[in-house]
Structure 1
Amino acid sequence: MERRNGGASTAVLAPIELDQVSKKQEVLPIASKMPSSAATSQERESTVPLNDRNGDLPSPNTVTERLETWNSPRRNIYRVGATFWSFIVMGMNDATYGPIIPYLEEYYSLSYLIVSLIFLSPFVGYNLAALLNNSLHLKLGQRGVAFFGPILHLISYIVISIHPPYPVLVIVFILAGVGNGFEDSGWNAWIGAMANANEVLGFLHGCYGLGATIAPLISTTMITKAGVPWYYWYYVMIVAAAIELVTSLHAFWSASGAVFREAHPRTADAGGSRLKEATFRRPAARVVWLSALFLLGYVGVEVALGGWIVTFMIRVRHGAAFASGMTATGFWLGITVGRLVLGFVTPRIGEKLAIAIYLPIAMALELLFWLVPQFYVSVVTVALVGFFLGPMFPAAVVACTKLLPKHLHVSGIGFAAAFGGSGGAMFPFAVGAIAQAKGVKVLQPIIVALLAIIWLLWMGLPRMARKQD
């Protein structure tokens, strides 16, 4: 059919086919099926835990979300400060093992193997935290982390300060490990999702290094210069944990489980446990397990070297007790400075490339430490090893935030951090067990081998782009 287009010289062809109307009506039966689809959705919702109901939302097509920063919203300033203090306490906790090992051996009349059990205890604690972390967030939110982490520290230090029989000491170190695991995973996941995460995580882990630096310094001075028993140091730890409990709980009191669930709805159609999704469903499982194994080896290197360095310097390098204790201070100081300085370098060249460069440098320095049997060379090289090891934990956390969707940040990063933290128990214990037969000189070849293994694990991670929301 042709009709005139007003006064114009053109004509508009407007074919009319009535059968097109009837074809459009064919859509109606499809729409009538929607109730059954809704029923299916209700059935699926019934399989999702009540405390994760909003986790059954479908994936959004586009997400434009403004990331939090360390000072926005304003309450984050106080909260970040509270997490910094928590990491100082965690660093003091982990770095205390090295300086007190020789005195535990003497006080309890222990062999290398038996005294190494204090390293194995946190292995149990960290793995318990890895399993419980996601449920703790869903039920109690960050408030739960802010309470259980410090209170477990406080209980542990009170018991240790009364110097109970050694088997009791081994058990209470498990509680300290659970507390560390909760805070390690919770605060890493929270800050790792912020803008400029590398820099802020650098300061967070720099605080861990600061705590690990001052602990050997103060504890060694108290024991060797003031002549007080080793357990007097834990009076200091009690005060630090009490401050941690008050500040953390006050800062995160409003961060309940409901607030956490609202802020972290699922962005995938899958239901069920987020931890199971992060650890058993690809592609997330590849990222989580590679990161967890990388952190397992890294933390093992960090704590084994920091934990046994004092004994190594006394028995193998024949250093004085105080000077050997200061070697541990130099190592942790190197880690602290490395996290602060290289934390600004790493994001500019990319996490993947940066760690691929830092690790071979650390291996070369560790070989120098091992093969040149001079006390002062060992002091300098172990501090430089610490410098290049420093940014690795923050970089792994940032890698996870880039490679995992937001709803898996807490479960995925929390599992990787807590599982990885158990390396700080497993490998130092292994060093002690082997040292029982071969001597503490086995420390260096074990460290070199671990550094090579974690380099291979790091290279297995996917290429990193921007963060996935």
Structure 2
Amino acid sequence: MKTSITASEVGIQSLSNTSSTSLQSSQTPPTKPELDDISQDTSHPTTDVDPLQRWNHPRINMFRVGACFWGFFCKGMLDSSFGLETYYNLTYTIISLIFLSPFLGYILACTVNTSMHVRFGQRGIAIVGPLCHLIPYIVLATHPPYAVLVIMFIFVGFGNGLIDAAWCAWIGNMANANQVSGVLQACYALGGTVAPLIAAGMLAKGGLQWWVFWYVMIAIASIESISSTWAFWAQTGAVFAAENPRDGNAKMGRMREAFGHKLTWIFAAFVFGYVGLEVSLGGWIVEFMTRVRSASTFNATMTSTGFWGGMTVGRILLSFVTARLGEFTSVLVYLAICLGLELIFWLVPSFVASAVAAALLGMFLGPLFPTAIVLVAKLMPKELHGGADVAAGGGGDFGGDYGVVVFGAG
């Protein structure tokens, strides 16, 4: 009996101590989260209820990620205009205006992206986005009047806006997001690398007309449409709602809430400047090397290939450096290096120096965009990722279009 009482007393004393410690802990004021400093911990929040997906788990994700990679490869091949000046007898300034029309489609994608996800899920994006590539490419292959080209590129911009936001947000929220996002964006750069080579072979060497290039694009877009539709067929609107639950007390729509978040606009401003520089360099580097550095057409084309090739390599290899250094530190280091390379490219009057600087510039520019996407995915609520990526993508598309027009007019 005495032993029993003693044990009870010990148990009560232990419970009392535990309760006292718990109460004291609960009364300790919480420290202020350091969300304002993005250089602090930006690791994905872990939870037993909602674990992060991986690129290879569940197994279907391997096919879905592959479809995303192919879609971005197709998108990267688009960022060129081959032979349009001569065929339509237009100035560089007028031709460069065709880069503005996709921005209108991108803006439209901003307004409907979230509602499409809610109603049709990723399946809807996987069907509509690639079709907005395939159908315009078929029309472009018929070399229609220039006004029709401008209209078709509006649809292309709409498709780009849909897949940009959907695939970047989905992959950016995965485990090992830096590496997978780096490969995703590398596929875009690879498309930009391959396109000038194909165009040079078909147009310069083969003597073919510019619209023959779109036959190749039709084949690539057909693969994109089939693979994306098959891979994401099970991802309906109901699945999206279940995977991205919202607070029942929320009074604003997802898109409106994303647009009201300050990180969305910081992200959009960053991407505006980044894509403006990237697309302007990639789009006009051949013209610059030919006119200013007196390079042959072949050597100028190889410089463009070096720029996009450097970007492809940088987005793959430097993604591992980014994962080790952290997103914030990496962006600062890459930007500083890019500034120095840009000065060399511009100020040193040498073809070799400019060509080498262009390749290295592409390499260190490459990781900036996927790194920014991953950083936003870590700092913003999951249900707002699509809206933030659409807004930033719209800013980037406008930055690219604006930069190309300004450089073209200059």
Instruction: Flag whether TM exceeds 0.5 (same fold).
Output: yes
- Of the two, which has the highest radius of gyration? 1
Aligned to 1:35: none
Aligned to 1:182: 162
1:272 CA drift (Å)? 2.5
Q: Report if aligned partners of 1:142, 1:257 keep a CA contact under 8 Å in 2.
A: yes
Distance in structure 1 (CA, Å) of the matches to 2:191 and 2:364:
18
Aligned to 2:368: 392
Q: Report if aligned partners of 2:126, 2:163 keep a CA contact under 8 Å in 1.
A: yes
Aligned to 1:318: 294
Aligned to 2:89: 109
Aligned to 1:254: 234
1:341 CA drift (Å)? 0.5
Q: Do structure 1's residue 220 and structure 2's residue 200 form an aligned pair?
A: yes
Aligned to 2:311: 335
Aligned to 2:348: 372
Query: For residues 39-438 of structure 1, what are the structure 2 equivalents within 5 Å?
Result: 64-94=49-79, 96-97=80-81, 100=82, 103-267=83-247, 269-280=249-260, 285-433=261-409, 435=410
Distance in structure 1 (CA, Å) of the matches to 2:231 and 2:3:
73
SS at 1:116's partner residue?
Answer: helix
Q: Report if aligned partners of 1:160, 1:169 keep a CA contact under 8 Å in 2.
A: yes
User: Runs of 5+ in structure 1 lacking a partner?
Assistant: 13-61, 436-469
- TM superposition score normalised by structure 2: 0.87
User: Runs of 5+ in structure 2 lacking a partner?
Assistant: 10-46
Q: Report if aligned partners of 1:153, 1:179 keep a CA contact under 8 Å in 2.
A: yes
1:420 CA drift (Å)? 2.2
1:7 CA drift (Å)? 11
SS at 1:84's partner residue?
Answer: helix
Distance in structure 1 (CA, Å) of the matches to 2:312 and 2:57:
26
CA displacement 1:219-258 (0-9 Å, x = unmatched): 1121111111111111000000011100000100111111
Distance in structure 2 (CA, Å) of the matches to 1:326 and 1:354:
29
Q: Report if aligned partners of 1:150, 1:244 keep a CA contact under 8 Å in 2.
A: yes
Distance in structure 1 (CA, Å) of the matches to 2:145 and 2:294:
31
1:201 CA drift (Å)? 0.5
Distance in structure 2 (CA, Å) of the matches to 1:82 and 1:70:
12
Distance in structure 1 (CA, Å) of the matches to 2:119 and 2:406:
36
1:267 CA drift (Å)? 4.4
Distance in structure 2 (CA, Å) of the matches to 1:373 and 1:273:
53
Percentage of matched positions with identical amino acids: 51
1:178 CA drift (Å)? 1.0
Distance in structure 1 (CA, Å) of the matches to 2:362 and 2:115:
34
- TM superposition score normalised by structure 1: 0.76
